[in-house]
Amino acid sequence: MNFGENIQEWFSVQIGALFFVVIGAMAIFFLAKREFSRFVGFAVFALIVGVFVFTPESVKSLGGKLWATVFGA
């Protein structure tokens, strides 16, 4: 039995939910103040952070495929 994996999965789910709540609150804040350029910049930043934090396996495989395409297998 590996207890660490269950704890890691639980924290990942909880932090993911908190991450999306914070992103939603910031988006509403920027849109309510009509700061559209800051909203777009924050949305792009949140998208990049979300991908790197929550799906690092896909980033790793994409990097490997890109490396193989550019420099050969």
DSSP three-state, residue 72: coil
| Nearest residue to 49 (alpha-carbon basis) of 25, 15, 72, 73 | 15
Predicted confidence at residue 9, as pLDDT, reads 77
pLDDT in tens, 1-54: 566 677 777 777 888 888 888 888 998 999 899 988 998 998 888 888 888 777
Confidence of residue 63 (pLDDT cuts 50, 70, 90): confident
Predicted confidence at residue 72, as pLDDT, reads 78
Domain spans of the chain, in order of start = 3-71
What tokens appear for 23 in the block?
């992103």
| Whole-Å CA distances, 11 to 18, 19, 57, 70 | 10, 12, 18, 37
CA atoms within 13 A on the CB side of 8: 5
Predicted confidence at residue 25, as pLDDT, reads 92
